[in-house]
């Protein structure tokens, strides 16, 4: 019978590429992932708004309406009725 022993971790935790700007440290992976997620949401939103109709809504349009309604309800539950003044949805 053969036993394999680990020699040590090959991945170091907390060793991501970062850069400093105005005394703040930014994690490059987080910024890239955020930009990719924002681009996907903006493209889907643009597509949903360009195909929006007053008739039967598409699945994408229903999803965005659901998402906007949930954000509105969350802000109203946290900030009260005047919360809609602070959230521009």
Interval 33-44: pLDDT, tens: 999 999 998 888
Asked if 17 contacts 28 with a C-beta cutoff of 8 angstroms, the reply is yes
Asked if 10 contacts 22 with a C-beta cutoff of 8 angstroms, the reply is no
pLDDT at residue 33, rounded to an integer = 93
Q: What's the predicted TM-score (pTM) here?
A: 0.56
**Judging by beta carbons within 10 Å of its beta carbon (0-12, 13-18, 19+), is residue 15 exposed, middle or buried?**
exposed
Alpha carbon dihedral 38, 39, 40, 44, in 10-degree steps, equals 100
Query: Cα separation of 19 and 30, whole Å?
Result: 12
When pLDDT is cut at 50, 70 and 90, the band that residue 82 belongs to is: confident
Among 34, 78, 40, 70, residue whose Cα is nearest residue 86? 78
């Amino acid at each position: 019978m053969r036993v394999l022993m680990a020699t040590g971790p090959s991945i170091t935790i907390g060793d991501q590429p970062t850069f400093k700007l105005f005394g703040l440290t930014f994690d490059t992976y987080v910024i890239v992932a955020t930009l990719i997620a924002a681009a996907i949401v903006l493209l889907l939103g643009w597509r949903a708004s360009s195909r929006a109709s007053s008739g039967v809504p598409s699945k994408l349009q229903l999803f965005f309406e659901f998402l906007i309604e949930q954000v509105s309800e969350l802000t109203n539950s946290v900030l009260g009725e005047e919360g809609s003044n602070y959230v521009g949805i």
